[in-house]
Structures are given as structure tokens and as C-alpha cells.
Amino acid sequence: MDFILTKEYIECCKKILEEVKEDENLYFKRSLPICILDAVFSIGAKYSSTWRVWDRYIKYYNLELKSFRDVNEGESDKSEHTISDFLHNAEQFADTETFANEVLQNSQRTSTTNGILKAQAALDIANIMKRNNINTISDFQNNKDKAKLNEEILSVHGQSSGIMLKYLYMLSGDVNTCKPDRWLHRFLQTFYPEIQLNDIQSLMTDTVAELKKYRPEVTVRMLDNAIWKYASQMQ
């Protein structure tokens, strides 16, 4: 569905962006397993519990990871924690439940009804990456068969909505994608009551095209993050 960008809506977005100086995602850890953990554990959970999951993982293994901001595009990062590293660490435990309890200290499931451990979902996604010869952030960004990869990731228990997948792309460096979660959806519904989840990406893309007239550096990812902070704090 196409939506007309109203003056009221654009002015609100401009106001929200006033406090945003740069893309805060550039400070996220440049590690594909950390991106996977954040994306998987963020679904249906408060972010205060989500970031603690990967923070515990980093501290458990005493990792020193760089942020995206610390690594120039195309530059090799020898400190990067890879998919192989992540799977190797998990394999040292008797089972996923032990890994989840001891390392991540989080036993959340993908749903309250027949859900699997989120830790298991993260490992399933990591194994899909491995089968597709994806080990690093660069491998993921440069993967040529995204349709096949996306289909496999969406088949993981509890991931069929695609919200986690979109967020994973965002965390891993895609500045043109948004996460159509409840915060973004609720915010957009105040201006477009009829908007559905599958309309959000298109509207956000059109919105940023308009906002670039005022802030050329704005991206979909920047706007998404700004709206998320605004909407979640309003609750």
C-alpha cells in the first residue's frame, strides 16, 4: 500500500531526529554471532535483557571485540569473533540448555507455546551460516544468494515472521533496512492507522528519501533507531 507523506508525519520525524547526531549502530560489536544473539533474543523481549545476553557471552570468553566504527570498509579484522568460534564454544557443553544457562544465563524461548530455546535458534542460524560458507560479517554482507539464505533462516523455529531476519541485516551493516517491530508499528499507526507490518519497509524508505532533503546523512536504519528510542520511552 502506498502512503502519502503528510506534513505532520514528516515534521514529527524531523523532530525525533534532532537528537540524533550519527548512526548509533556503528558502535555495535562487529561480530556475526553477536549480531545473531542480539537479533534472536530481542524478539518479544525488553532490550535491557537482550544486550545482557551477548554481554555475558563476551565476558565469559573474555573477548575484545571492535565496533563497526573501528573497522574501515573492506578492512580485515583479526579480532573478529566468527561463526566457527561461536559454534566451537557451544559444542563444549553437554547440550544447548547448559550453554544457555551457564554462558548466556537466559532460558527464554521463541514463544510460550511450543517454542524452542532462543539459544537453540541462534545456534541453528549459526549452523545455516556455516553450511552457506559464511563465517564473518563480510561473508554475510557479500553473500550472493540471499534468497536461499533468507529462506533457510526463516525456516528456523519461531523466525517465520521475518522480523528477526531484517534486524539481523540491520545489525550486520545494512543501513537501508528497518526492523518492523511493535514500537515502529505503533508509532507509524498514529499517522497511518491502516498500516500493516509488510508496509513498513516501503514507508520508511520513502520517508528517508524525503528527510534526506534536510539531513542528507539520514538512513532507514538511523530513523528506525530514533523512532524506536522515542516510542519505547513514551510508554
Q: How many CA atoms lie within 13 A of 40 on its CB side?
A: 31
pLDDT by residue (tens digit) across 107-128? 999 998 889 999 999 999 999 9
Rounded to an integer, the average pLDDT of 159-174 is: 96
Nine cell digits for residue 80: 573478529
Q: Is the pLDDT of residue 78 over 90?
A: no
pLDDT band at 49 (very low <50, low <70, confident <90, very high): very high
Nine cell digits for residue 184: 515502529
Give the pLDDT confidence score for residue 235 in this predicted structure.
Answer: 59
Q: Which of 102, 75, 86 is nearest to 31 (CA)?
A: 86
Percent of the chain with pLDDT over 70: 98
Nine cell digits for residue 129: 551460516
Q: How many CA atoms lie within 13 A of 141 on its CB side?
A: 17
Least confident of 14-18, 45-49, 132-136: 45-49
Domain boundaries, the chain: 7-23+179-233, 30-171
Nine cell digits for residue 229: 528510542
pTM, two decimal places: 0.94
CB 200 within 8 A of CB 188: yes
Give the pLDDT confidence score for residue 143 in this predicted structure.
Answer: 96
Rounded to an integer, the average pLDDT of 5-22 is: 95
> 156 by DSSP, 3-state: which?
coil
pLDDT by residue (tens digit) across 82-112? 999 999 999 999 999 999 999 999 999 999 8
Rounded to an integer, the average pLDDT of 23-44 is: 96
- How far is the C-alpha of 12 from the C-alpha of 14, rounded, in Å? 5
User: What class has domain 30-171?
Assistant: mainly alpha
Give the pLDDT confidence score for residue 228 in this predicted structure.
Answer: 93
- How far is the C-alpha of 120 from the C-alpha of 93, rounded, in Å? 13
CB 211 within 8 A of CB 10: yes
Cell 521463541 found at: 110
Give the pLDDT confidence score for residue 19 in this predicted structure.
Answer: 86
Give the pLDDT confidence score for residue 34 in this predicted structure.
Answer: 98
